[in-house]
Amino acid sequence: MLRDLIGKILHKTKKVVTLSARTSSGDFLLQKTDFGLVRVEFSVIQKIAERALSQIKEIHEAEVSVEKVTTTSVVPMKIRLTATLAEGCSAPKASLAADQVINAALKENLSPEFYVPVEVKVRQIVKPVTQKRQRVR
């Protein structure tokens, strides 16, 4: 009787299993849910990350790549971010902001349990661009 009750409780919970695979079209994640299998291409995750980075004003330019990780079974991928920062901003704060913004966007679009580590490399620090006043005739 107890076994049946536990089985009913576990059957009603939503289980998310994330697997990583590769086809000729590229790498993708396969999420198994109660509703079926969901296939998410790495390029989609890259675009979500790029859109999320537009919210951070300290990052002028960024190159985002999603890489498959085979050394761990917990997280099958990582996001590598090569960024150009504004002069005077803190690299650790910009890195933390990038991680938070990217993972918030991924959780919103894919799954609440979804987390991908973000590896940030600062390529260059540039002066902030000031807009020149334009003459209106």
In a domain, 103, yes or no: yes
In a domain, 136, yes or no: no
pTM greater than 0.85? no
In a domain, 137, yes or no: no
Which residue type does 30 have?
A: L
Report residue 82's pLDDT band, with 50, 70 and 90 as the boundaries: very high
Which residue type does 113 have?
A: E
Report residue 21's pLDDT band, with 50, 70 and 90 as the boundaries: low
For 51-65, the pLDDT digits (tens) are 999 989 889 889 999
Structure tokens at 2: 């107890």
Domain count, the chain: 1
In a domain, 132, yes or no: no
Higher pLDDT, 29 or 118: 118
In a domain, 83, yes or no: yes
For 39-52, the pLDDT digits (tens) are 888 899 999 999 99
Average pLDDT over residues 4-23: 49
Average pLDDT over residues 9-15: 45
pLDDT at 15 over 50: no
Nearest-angstrom CA–CA distance, 115 and 49 = 12
Q: What phi, psi does 89 have (nearest 5°)?
A: -95, 155
For 84-126, the pLDDT digits (tens) are 998 888 999 999 999 999 999 999 988 777 788 999 999 999 8
Higher pLDDT, 30 or 130: 30
Residue 102's nearest CA partner among 71, 74, 81 is 81
Domain of residue 94, residue span: 2-126
> What's the CATH code of the domain at 111?
3.30.70.1350
